[in-house]
Structure 1
Amino acid sequence: MRDTLTVILAGGRGSRLEPLTRDRAKPAVPFGGLYRIIDFVLSNCLNSDMRRLLLLTQYKAQSLDRHINVAWRNYFCRELGEFIDVVPPQQRIDDNWYQGTADAVYQNIYAIEREQPEDVVVLAGDHIYKMNYKTMVDFHRKTGSDITVGALRVGRDAAREFGVMQVDLDNQITGFQEKPDDPMPTPDDPDICLASMGIYVFNARFLYEALCADATREDSDHDFGKNIIPGAIADGFKVSAFPFLDENRKRDAYWRDVGTIDAYYEATMDLIDVDPLLNLYDQKWPVRAHQPMLPPPKFVFGSESRGTTRRGQALDSIVCQGAILSGGSVARSIIGPNVRVNSYAHVEDSILFDEVVVGRRSRLKRVIVDKGVQIPPETEIGYDRKADLARGFTVTDSGLVVIARGELIQSQSDQSETLSAEPGL
């Protein structure tokens, strides 16, 4: 794959994931305790022997840039022509931020041309899946396509959030609609549509010409799904669909866009199932991440005092390095590195990011707690929606509570004292 360059789009705001994206880009959001979302597409690249990567960033990129430096630099040898370069907006072409996916690539066209690739693979950095991109590139070259689009079969209702394709018997795309209100189903199943995964392979020369032509159009959104691909089809270029081949090796294909808090929570919590949909233990297609130099997780105390159980334990959960369950219990939860769950505390159906501390006798249920948050002793979160909203927490329609990074949580006993001191109470 030395004649292929991979461009990863990692600059989205991720506004629907706030407050988790308040201080970080969406690809840098932790997932599954140890990983970041970006680790999945980067692992796919490494497992596909694609070792020339440009990572295009834009918003709140410091956390992502730090993660790439710590977790990924050592996998690439510059002396062998391998690299992963983080490329922030440079405004070399104009003074604007990236206006769309195509514009992000266009504004970095000089960096792409300098590598002289035969083909350019364009990927989104905020999806979770396993895929061998080399197989797709081979298909692209064998068919002589100008563009090849990764294709996923989805339900018709879900297809409204995707680009929807129509193909002929040779998998050549004959129609493409971006996020249509009435998606056109496949001929063999009226309830299924063929959706774009946001994975593209371009003939490099075609890509340069298409991007330059699109940049001059004032009526364009400068987006691959809205403009480049439909335009190429209309102009008679060969645009093919590549059916998604899942390296996850399960009955159903696994691909997730964790674009909302609830979707993120559901995808994460699936990992604690006995047989999760996403297999993180597959040595044939490993998902790599930063492995911090931390001691193993520790579970301490196993006693009863005055009828109360004091036991450090975790059931049906994932517990990362450095975590200490010091007399507190965890059930159906993801516990990140360096987390502390103190005596008589109980955490269930929750996700705790790095360095969270849960105070004694606190209770959390269906809560996502961002990095470094301190939960005071004897605090309940996730049991009373009105109380959680009154304390300024984000609460989704499903009742999921999110506590942002840097949140200073007042203990409930302190709150009671404050309220009793106010006039008229």
Structure 2
Amino acid sequence: MNTIVNAIVEISASFLADTGFGFEFLISLVLCAGHMPRRSYFAARMAGAVALVTIFLWGWNHIFPVTLATSIVHYIVFFALIVACAVLCWAIDSEQALVVTIAAGILQHCCYRAASLIGYGISDTAHLSLQCGSYMYVLSLIPIFILGWWCFARLLRFSDFHMNYRSFIPLTGGMLVCANILTNAFESLALDTTSEVRFVFALFDLVSSFFFMMLLLQMMKRHHAENNSLVLERMLAEQRKQLASSKEVIDLINIKTHDVKKQLGSLGRLIDPQEQAELQEMLNIYDSTVDTGNDTLDVVLQEKSLICEKRKIRFERIVDGKLLYFVRSHDIYALFGNALDNAIEAVSHLEEEKRYISLDVRQNRAMIAVVVKNPFEGTVEFVDDLPRTTTGDDAYHGFGTRSIRMITQRYGGVMAISTDDNIFTLSLLIPVR
């Protein structure tokens, strides 16, 4: 009986030795790609990926001898296989799969080194058998993977994998492959070294892997910021075009309204007095010329006033537009347009008596204070100190408020947002010039 048990244990240990690396890599892949959109029948696809990786690793180790050259080729082929598994299981393209596989490879290598130092370090110190060291290694992997998810993989949820990583992939991918090649080279060439030398190398490898993880996170954040900047510039360019179009439309409305009022006056008694009063009231809405002392701001306010009138939103404003003489026209249009669009969106679904927006632009000592207030219902979720959009527009997700902050900072100002008492308050302070 003991012979059978020992045989089962030996076979299991041999199987895990051949395939354990693959299981660790797949676990790391799931942790790093867990937030990404999955393909249909994900569980079946994942089971197929596990089977494919198991067959590859077991077959390779039983066909090819373990040498430095075969170990290097083995890792490169295996890495390509994991990329294919990522494409198989998640709804991503090959470039995205390569990025997430690189991240998974870094996480796996770091967890492997940490577990090796803990598991085999304890067994060596306590003079336990190699088999006990293997058990300690497996047990230590569980908390280490949890820690790796918390410190690294979890943070990838804030990274945008839909970016252009063509300059990023060769650097990080090359570093990962080189790290594993050098590790395999050491394992092959340093068989006769002392345990102290192996410990020092393993510790160096662990520290290097940790800093590699931090480097990857910083690079992703930089690419994310660059991508946001490109989207903001594209959005602002579209708003510049919209400014010119809005000016033409507002001017045309004012001209036509003035003409209609003259014609209405010339008709005199031919129209029922009550109907004439109603028509006059409707025309006054379109003929309510805004004069803040800033032509661009006048266009924005008149445009938004018409929208507020249509949606029965009270729009209260005290605005000294002359203070903004130094701000470029397209920046004024984008800043106030986005701020008022957000406010209009927030109050449009409220009860009619609760629909109001207030805008205040005035000088406070050496600063220009811009304050936009509107009520809202529910809660506001903040990401990166900015409110999340409720429009569901993924292309310009949250970029309205982001552009307001960018424009404010461009003129040396600061932006603050508060949501006290269900009143959303956007406050901008810009130095007077």
TM-score by length of 1: 0.26
Point out which structure has higher relative CO (alpha carbons under 8 A, 6+ apart).
1
Larger Rg: 2
Higher share in strand: 1
Higher share in helix: 2
